[in-house]
Amino acid sequence: MSHYIFAKLNNISMSAQKVRLVVDVVRGKKAMDAMNILKFLPNGAARQVSKVLASAMANAEENFGVSRDDLYVYRITADEAPTRKWRRFGARGRFKPLLRRSSHISVTLREKE
């Protein structure tokens, strides 16, 4: 019987646009292959994505007794989280908003049939 194994990381201080670049690389790959790919990606988001993936793999082993070699990345998304708005003061008394974007990463793994 195939299980859906889930893990989520909330409120990463990195824009969803940057995280999606990394997420798109590992979507649909075997879990162990995805971890090896993430280890060598230069993007800052790769570390965060590998954390979530490692957590999902640990959940599979601990809660469902599934071997990590049988897992693949079924669904992985990077969604927008709340944006913090910061102030920067510009010339002539004007106000320049700075948007500090953040994101949520969610991973769903499945067992190979």
How does residue 105 score in pLDDT terms, banded at 50, 70 and 90? very high
pLDDT digits (tens, 9 = 90+) for 21-51: 999 999 999 999 999 999 999 999 999 999 9
User: What is the pLDDT, as a whole number, of residue 1?
Assistant: 60
- pLDDT one-digit tens code per residue, 50-81: 999 999 999 999 999 999 999 999 999 999 99
Q: Please report which confidence band the pLDDT of residue 2 belongs to, taking 50, 70 and 90 as the band edges.
A: confident
Task: Return the pLDDT at 113.
Answer: 79
pTM: 0.89
- Residue ranges of the alpha helices (H) in 5-65? 16-26, 31-40, 45-59
pLDDT for residue 17: 96
CATH topology of domain 4-111: Ribosomal Protein L22; Chain A (3.90.470)
Residue position matching structure tokens 């893990």: 7
Which secondary structure element, helix H or strand E, spans residue 86, and what is its range? strand 84-89
Query: What does the buried/exposed string (b/e) look like for 40-75 if buried means 16 or more CB atoms within 10 Å of the residue's CB?
Result: ebeeebbebbbebbbbbbebbeeeeebebebbbbbe
Give the span between the Cα atoms of 18 and 16, in whole angstroms: 5
- The domain locations on the chain are 4-111
